[in-house]
Amino acid sequence: MAPSTFKLNTGQDMPAVGLGTWQSSPGEVAAAVTCALKSGYKLVDAAYCYGNEDEVGQGIKAAIDAGYVTRSDIFVVTKLWNTYATRAEVCLDKSLKALGLDYVDQYLVHWAVGMNPNGNDDRFPKLPDGSRDITWDHDHTATWAQMEDLLKTGKTKSIGVCNYSVPYLEQLLKKAKVVPAVNQIENHPSLPQQEVVDFCKSKGIHIVAYSPLGSTGGPLMKSEPVLKVAKRKAASPGTVLLSYHVARGATVLAKSVTESRIKANLEIIDLDADDMKILNDYSDSLAKEGKLERYVYPPFGINFGFPDKKEGRSMPNGI
């Protein structure tokens, strides 16, 4: 049977499935979070940059007040945003205040980039030409040292990263005192990122897969091989796409603000070797044809070291 949790290098049990909250609108997200926790979700993924942590917190509070869950039952994740890359505790404090919590279960570096802390916007400062106001001499390993210090405050139970490629992870691990608990990355059959997945496994870093349905509108639910596996299993394409990660030993985050979908996304089935072969063959053919699909790649203009995205400016780290 598919596992419902995975053990992290911190000893924590991280749920196999979580609710995403990116692009979940104010007015919808609190109800979505409460519905998820009522339905059996134990993991909620938030971020400072999503601008909706206050409503996420209201949704959590409503679920606790209603007796659906207790605080210690659930695993709350949020993320350090780039404009706070040199002020990690300031950002965490803001998130905790918005969420109405005194600790999170996991705090992640959202992207390995710094953005101008004194620019023209708190989250997305821009230059006059419209490009992002990046701190080009930022050292992402210095941010990690700040993350390590946060563990001593008790405000987060574990720390990790998002969107880290193998070369970035290698740099971080050279200096790290604490190995990240997770690397949260875009992951699905159209972007298996096997090199990062394998590297993380070898270092004891758990993979958390985001945009499993292909992000906005869930385009991967129409993909031919996914439909084929869905038919074999008499399951929905969404269930196949989410179960793929659990079969790979990863946690998966799916976003929805629709009650029926929130509930449906909790269903994880066992995919067998033949099912996985159909999906893996598909990934291999996309890789061969240069047709891998990365749905989330914000316009930072930076080369983050992913083999499918070599364009962009190098940071001082030389990648």
Ligand X SMILES: O=C[C@H](O)[C@@H](O)[C@@H](O)[C@H](O)C(=O)O
Ligand Y SMILES: NC(=O)C1=CN([C@@H]2O[C@H](COP(=O)(O)OP(=O)(O)OC[C@H]3O[C@@H](n4cnc5c(N)ncnc54)[C@H](OP(=O)(O)O)[C@@H]3O)[C@@H](O)[C@H]2O)C=CC1
Residue 298's binding partner among ligand X, ligand Y, none (Cβ under 5 to 8 angstroms by kind) is ligand X
Q: Which residue is nearest to ligand Y (CB)?
A: 20
110 vs 245, beta carbon nearer ligand Y: 110
List phi, psi (to 5°) of 43.
-120, 130
**One residue of 49, 91, 196, 302 binding ligand X per CB under 6 A:** 49
111 vs 128, beta carbon nearer ligand Y: 111
Which conformational region is residue 119 in: left (phi greater than 0), alpha (psi within -120 to 50 degrees), or beta?
beta
- Terminal CA-CA length for the chain: 41
Residue 219's binding partner among ligand X, ligand Y, none (Cβ under 5 to 8 angstroms by kind) is none
In angstroms, the CA 220 to CA 241 distance is 8
Residue 49's binding partner among ligand Y, ligand X, none (Cβ under 5 to 8 angstroms by kind) is ligand X
Q: Which residue is nearest to ligand X (CB)?
A: 298
Structure tokens at 58: 């209201």
49 vs 220, beta carbon nearer ligand X: 49
Any idea what the Cα angle at residue 281 is, between residues 279 and 283, rounded to 5°?
Answer: 70
Residue 158's binding partner among ligand Y, ligand X, none (Cβ under 5 to 8 angstroms by kind) is none
Residue 206 is labelled as binding a ligand: no
Residue 314: DSSP 8-state: P
Structure tokens at 182: 């997770």
Closest approach of ligand Y to the CB of residue 186, in Å: 6
Identified catalytic residue from 50, 68, 168, 244:
50
Residue 50 annotated in active site: yes
Residue 201: DSSP 8-state: H
Q: How many chain residues bind ligand X (CB under 6 A)?
A: 5
Tell me if 22 contacts ligand X by CB under 6 A. yes
**One residue of 44, 47, 279, 315 binding ligand X per CB under 6 A:** 47
List phi, psi (to 5°) of 253.
-110, 125
Q: Which residues 6+ apart lie within 8 Å of 300 measured at CB?
A: 111, 113, 132, 134, 312
Query: Which of 115, 91, 113, 114 is CA-nearest to residue 104?
Result: 91
Half-sphere exposure of 85 (CA within 13 A, CB side): 23
Q: Which residue has the tokens 């930022």?
A: 138
In angstroms, the CA 111 to CA 123 distance is 13
Closest approach of ligand Y to the CB of residue 119, in Å: 20
Q: Which residue has the tokens 């044809």?
A: 289
**One residue of 64, 176, 278, 296 binding ligand X per CB under 6 A:** 296
59 vs 238, beta carbon nearer ligand Y: 238
- Residues at the site binding ligand Y, with contacts judged by CB under 6 A: 20-22, 45, 110, 162-163, 184, 210-218, 238, 253-258, 261, 264-265, 296
16 vs 152, beta carbon nearer ligand Y: 16
List phi, psi (to 5°) of 51.
70, 15
**One residue of 298, 301, 307, 316 binding ligand X per CB under 6 A:** 298
Closest approach of ligand X to the CB of residue 79, in Å: 7
* Catalytic residue positions, numbered: 50
Q: Annotated binding residues for substrate, as ranges?
A: 110
Residues in contact with ligand X by CB under 6 A are: 22, 47, 49, 296, 298
